[in-house]
């Protein structure tokens, strides 16, 4: 029997990416976007925020739901901007303002002190026959360091200043397909996949 998993997002690129990751491994499963209202993300971690989104979607629809929450973690900033990555420079939510503030905050640091990673929490919430909810959450990490100035035209957010470990270019200079293969989001959902197979397979 066919099963629909709702992704708690309206982002068409994210829906397409996660469909490509999950559907080949879950026969009979389709991943669709959710058009419902966005819940308040008031968790204190990526995992809490991802679960909030997936939980609200599953409760409202009665269908299995998945969600993610992600951001940049800078070692010298004690893990910030973290869950505040999208609004680090203020309410305008400008990608450029956010990354320029991070660069300014670590401008005095040596290259060896500029370690950073992208972190993604992937969550699934699956309604059970007894009315309870089965909740699963995992983390994916993409390690690297921060450049001294933006480079590259691909990607978004902090991609132009993030240099993945093992590469000499920014994430925004990588071929988009390669970037998606390496990304923290793919790593998180690949880690979530075996548990989804066990629950829905």
Q: Known catalytic residues? A: 69
DSSP state of 91: T
- CA dist list (Å): 132 to 17, 64, 83, 136, 184: 29, 12, 28, 13, 30
Which strands form 65-74's sheet, in the order they lie side by side? 29-33, 3-7, 65-74, 115-127, 133-146, 162-164
| Dihedral (CA of 156, 160, 162, 167) sign | positive
Q: Which of 132, 195, 159 is nearest to 70 (CA)?
A: 159
Residue with tokens 């909810």: 133
Reported in sequence order, the residue ranges of 55-108 that DSSP labels E, i.e. its strands, are 65-74
């Amino acid at each position: 029997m066919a099963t629909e998993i709702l992704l708690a997002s309206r982002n068409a690129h994210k829906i397409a990416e996660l469909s490509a990751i999950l559907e080949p491994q879950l026969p009979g499963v389709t991943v669709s976007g959710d058009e419902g209202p966005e819940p308040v993300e008031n968790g204190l971690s990526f995992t809490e925020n991802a679960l909030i989104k997936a939980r609200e979607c599953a409760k409202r629809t009665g269908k299995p739901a998945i969600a993610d929450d992600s951001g940049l973690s800078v070692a010298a900033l004690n893990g910030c901007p973290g869950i505040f990555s999208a609004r680090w420079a203020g309410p305008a939510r400008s990608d450029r303002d956010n990354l320029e503030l991070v660069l300014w905050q670590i401008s005095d640091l040596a290259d060896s002190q500029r370690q950073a990673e992208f972190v993604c929490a992937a969550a699934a919430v699956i309604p059970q026959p007894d009315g309870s909810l089965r909740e699963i959450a995992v983390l994916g990490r993409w390690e690297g360091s921060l450049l001294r100035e933006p480079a590259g035209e691909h990607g978004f957010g902090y991609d132009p200043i993030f240099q993945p470990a093992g590469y000499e270019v920014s994430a925004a200079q990588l071929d988009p397909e390669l970037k998606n293969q390496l990304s923290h989001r793919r790593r998180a959902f690949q880690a979530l996949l075996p548990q989804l197979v066990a629950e829905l397979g």
